[in-house]
Structure 1
Amino acid sequence: MTEHDQTARARYLAETAQLLWPPPAVVNTGPRNGNRVVSEFLVLPSLADARLLLPLRARRAAAAVALRYAEPRSLGRKARAHAMSLATSTGVAQALFRSRLRIELPLDEPSAELDTVETLLCDVLGEQALVGLHLTRPRANRKPVVQALTTHGQLRAVAKIGTGDLTRSLVAAEERNLRMLGRQRTTTFAVPRVLDFRSWRGLLVLTVTALPVDAPRAPAAPARLAGVASEIAATATTAETVARESRYVAALRVRIGRLRQPAAQQLRQALDAALDAAGDGTLRFGAWHGDFTRANLAVLHDKVLVWDWERYGAGVPVGYDLAHYYVQHDILARHDDVSAYLTGLIDRSPNLLAPMALDRDEATLVIKLYLVEIATRYVADRQDEMGELHDVLPELLEFLAGL
């Protein structure tokens, strides 16, 4: 990790802590100074590379937070998370790793009333709550996601906190989407239930029930993923229409027109090329999750658990979710040759989207439109300025301009 990355992670930890534990609480990452310690956290692996914040005085809760760091469950990440969970539950991690974050009350205000993320979640749940955090990689939509646990390590709820304009809008959208989905009867997938939604100290806080992600898993078979994607598509009105005459394409053109140059011109060319090649081809339009990835779902034997519904939307081509599932993993794993990957992706699109009952022409058009859609989102969110897409997005735009 570069010195710049270390500085960015340390700064994000400090900023996040100040938001979640505002004055009169004092955030201290240095040595003890005589103040009254209210809460204490183990920072893993270090303050300079902070990825986990674990409640220090409750080993079971800390072990539970560490274990859930395995999502999404790659073999390597799962093994590391299990090892860290075991080390935490036995006290080994506390002895080996020395970085601490303490929430304190100053000596001159030892009885001051606190209004922190912990007191907020205690109010929501009606009982004592311990908190833990996963600190995610830098990206435009990064936001604090707080786990609320019992002292025995049972995950009770998850709180998502909108801090800026983009993340506040996403948190508000997820609240609306989850309430709408909660009124529907779904058979292939389950979603969290909204417990609380409020403005708190200038932030937006959405608290939802914890899904049973610790349940035994089943293989993520394409047919099951397609079944979930199809049911999600049906959560809004579905219709078939000529793609180039659709409301979706008209709205996409408007969003592209708001982007900065040269990205707007590149995406406009890509959209025109895809639609010209399709002629009067029709597509089915419905809803999509909007971020249907390995990181946001768990395939169980009876249902698929799906969370992070902030990007849900209606009136998009059916097949977007399945395309997103594969592309988001592959394009980041193979970013050394993005153009070759995307060329192969379009060639493989009929097989990739066959479980969605799309023919060759429909699948090819869906993949092309999806790439324009996701690139439009990334440019609008300025994802090229930070995180994993820093190098990928320019190559994606260049490829699309040559369609």
Structure 2
Amino acid sequence: MKSKIIGIVISSFLVALLLTSLAMPGLVQAMGMGQTAQTNFCGDNDQNSSGFQSGKQMTQEQIRERIMEMCQIGLQRRLFGPIEYDNGTVTGFFIKFNFNESTGTITNYSVRYGNEMLRVFDNIEVSDFTAKNVKVVGSIFVASDETHRIIAHNNPTALLHVMTNSSAEISIAIPEDFKIEQINSNNTCLDTIYRITKDDFVGAIGISNGTASFEENEEGTYLHVSGNDTHLFFRMRPYFQETGLSMHAHLMNAVIEGRICAEIRVMVHNGDAIYDAQIYDHRYTLRIVSAVQNRVTLQVASEQHEGRLFLFVLDNDTINVSNQLRVKLDGNDVVRANSMSEILNATGTSTSDARYYGFEIDGLQYLLVYVPHFSEHTIEISSLSASSGIPLTWIAVAVIGIGAVVIAAAVLVKGGRKQ
């Protein structure tokens, strides 16, 4: 095998490994990594990340420009948008806030609410958090150290994740004009769920492996969370001039109830693809395998046995809904549900119980796929007019792990058999 490596920005270990593989081509294969691992540094778990895919050879600068261009197109289609970070200020169309790297504190977390930005949290403090890695990649903001991680998604859900790998205290200050209340749920992953509202705004805070308590004083209302290996997320119901509020309400409730375990936003444009993945139940993982026009394939896995829903959000250029859709689970055709109610309440544990249901909101295609049981599965979504296409390899835009954020967006490896 002959490998050509163009423009690498990656950890010193992987640099050494790749350089060694040039001198000893069989080494990477012998270590079980293979060519795919050289081009995909997302590892086994792409959860809460952003990725870019292209079959073209590009320089590092060309990749950056293309990612920015595609994020701008994604913004026009209301899928996701580019995000900027400058001197402690995080700015996107859907989210905006300030971040203190020394204390790991978020202040003035604001979200897109119609034509305005609405401040949802005055501040979010995480104990003993000094951000050592702060990155903005594609549509996400990431800050982390060895035991803490904050991830914010610049998309219509304004999703915010706070995760710890040790004992930690999380304190959230909520503006006085918001109402927050604990709600009962059948969610088996989250210990506590709160609904936060103001006028037509609806959001939810989900907490796993943490004990929550309220404090009210002259300064306002505080939600305190303490625990080990705590996962906390905030998600809002997208709000665009009252478009699709009923459907968005159903989806929001399905997230709260733990029915939807992940949401994946994918866009294909001129042969390139970009995605924004967000996990609501950390016990489930996903990996985007490939995305070409009219076909998206991913792998999902979990040690849990309960069936779960995956939500895909796609634009018309990615999946042409004027043609008949086909959804497959492990190569078997999935039956279309007759209604939103049927898919949201789907049950069963055999492959024949798998279902899907699609609908449109404001020019975007929303597709729910019910996977009835778990180990590891492949989901394929395609239009019957889809061409065979050439499977492309994902170039990792972000590798997110506790204690490390590795940016590999500038890596392209092309392999071929030496004649």
State whether TM-score is above 0.5. Answer: no
TM-score by length of structure 1 reads: 0.26
TM-score by length of structure 2 reads: 0.25
Which structure dedicates a bigger proportion of its chain to strand? 2
Which structure dedicates a bigger proportion of its chain to helix? 1
